[in-house]
């Protein structure tokens, strides 16, 4: 049984035909509500956590699974407890993030990321038979935080990337930023050069994500530079609409200006979304270890100044197909041993 979740719903991705469940989809928020409320809304968080606990408990009690595999801290915790009483045989924790950081955050975000997250990550590790880390840095950060190794068995398994089907081959003329605008997102680097980009190539800037206090600051900067006509804002987009917007983008940016952020441990989700659409990227060293992959495989550029940004955008716009081919080759060659091999070894 495969359960998927996003901001809008928890849904059954796959189940054997002979198995029935009392639900197919559980709604969380509609697109209109997501655009009005913060992702960090406390009531949404409590409701979602309650659903995760309930679903994991229900699956273990009813089906007594041989293997419970989860990317979600809440469900892997419940499965670990169920394993203790014989309702689950093997529990696997997939860790793709380490959220603890010293970056500037609201009280609620700091409490969630620096207190709640490490506690449940700790419980997920000690209650699991296998911990799958998406990078070595995640495992090292966890060990440094607790002062000891927590995992009984662990492997490093890079996040798999697969291209979208039916990617549009039309000429692209937009730059994309996808995700939460933070104080260190680096968007102030691109706003002042939008006039020249539009005048030279007709390029616009697309910002996709729920508004934050820093979004307001960027909007003020956009007005101050008189480039409102060259910037398009979207709130949360579902998968279909997101693909349609990204289809028009020749470059995805992640210009993190601070090294005190949790992106330095794993692969930022926005980069995966860009690469799946064969969108070359412009990033800074602040994205962490994946910056070396960008350099080595020529997936775009790693920069550290506004002057370098303009030159990089010019190169990606003119030679976009070359970088698309590099991304496709990178994805095709990004192979590692199947996770099923590790799981089978664990069960022997």
- What pLDDT, in 10s, does the model give residues 21-34? 887 777 765 554 55
Query: Is 83:89 a contact under the CB 8 Å cutoff?
Result: yes
pTM: 0.82
Least confident span in 36-40, 141-145, 344-348: 36-40
51-58: long-range contacts at Cβ-Cβ below 8 A with a sequence spacing of 24 or more? 51/10, 51/26, 52/5, 52/10, 52/78, 53/78, 55/3, 55/10, 56/82, 57/82
- How many residues are present in the chain? 348
Angle made by CA atoms 196, 206, 160, in degrees to the nearest 5: 120
pLDDT tens by residue, 166-195: 787 778 999 999 998 988 899 999 999 999
Percent of the chain at pLDDT above 70?
92
pLDDT in tens, 104-146: 777 777 888 889 999 999 999 999 999 998 888 889 999 999 9
* Cα radius of gyration (the chain): 21
Sign of torsion over alpha carbons 176, 180, 181, 183: negative
pLDDT at 36: 46
* CA distances (Å), origin 157, targets 130, 131, 169, 269: 12, 10, 32, 16
Q: Please tell me the distance from the alpha carbon of residue 142 to that of residue 19, in angstroms, as a whole number.
A: 38
For 56, residues 6+ apart whose C-beta sits below 8 A from its C-beta are: 68, 70, 74, 75, 76, 78, 79, 82
What are the C-alpha distances in Å from 343 to residues 85, 90, 132, 184, 316? Answer: 21, 9, 10, 39, 41
Most confident of 101-110, 134-143, 210-219, 292-301: 292-301
Cβ count near 92 (within 10 Å): 22
**DSSP single-letter state for residue 231:** E
pLDDT of residue 180: 87
Band of pLDDT at residue 261, cut at 50, 70 and 90: low
């Amino acid at each position: 049984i495969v359960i998927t979740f996003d901001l809008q719903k928890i849904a059954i991705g796959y189940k054997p035909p002979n198995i029935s469940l009392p639900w197919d989809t559980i709604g969380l928020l509609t697109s209109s509500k997501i655009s009005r409320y913060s992702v960090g809304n406390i009531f949404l968080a409590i409701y979602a956590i309650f659903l995760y606990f309930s679903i994991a408990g229900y699956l273990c009690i009813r089906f007594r699974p041989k293997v419970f595999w989860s990317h979600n801290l809440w469900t892997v915790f419940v499965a670990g407890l169920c394993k203790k009483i014989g309702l689950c045989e093997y529990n696997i924790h997939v860790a793709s993030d380490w959220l603890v950081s010293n970056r500037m955050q609201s009280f609620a975000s700091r409490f969630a990321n620096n207190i709640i997250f490490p506690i449940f990550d700790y419980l997920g590790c000690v209650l699991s038979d296998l911990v799958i880390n998406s990078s070595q840095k995640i495992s090292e950060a966890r060990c440094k935080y607790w002062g000891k190794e927590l995992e009984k068995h662990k492997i490093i398994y890079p996040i798999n990337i697969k291209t979208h089907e039916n990617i549009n081959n039309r000429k692209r003329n937009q730059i994309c930023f996808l995700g939460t605008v933070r104080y260190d997102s680096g968007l102030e680097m691109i706003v002042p050069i939008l006039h020249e980009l539009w005048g030279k190539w007709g390029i616009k800037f697309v910002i996709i994500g729920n508004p934050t206090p820093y979004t307001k600051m960027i909007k003020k900067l956009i007005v101050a530079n008189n480039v409102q006509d060259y910037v398009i804002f979207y709130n949360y987009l579902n998968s279909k609409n997101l693909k349609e917007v990204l289809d028009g983008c020749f470059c995805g940016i992640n210009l993190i200006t601070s090294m005190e952020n949790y992106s330095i441990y794993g692969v930022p989700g926005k980069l995966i979304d860009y690469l799946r659409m064969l969108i070359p990227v412009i990033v800074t060293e602040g994205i962490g270890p994946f910056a070396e992959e960008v350099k080595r495989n020529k997936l775009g550029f790693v920069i550290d100044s506004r002057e370098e940004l303009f030159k990089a955008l010019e190169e990606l716009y003119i030679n976009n197909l070359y970088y698309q081919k590099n991304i496709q080759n990178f994805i095709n060659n990004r192979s590692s041993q199947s996770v099923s091999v590790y799981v089978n070894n664990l069960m022997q």
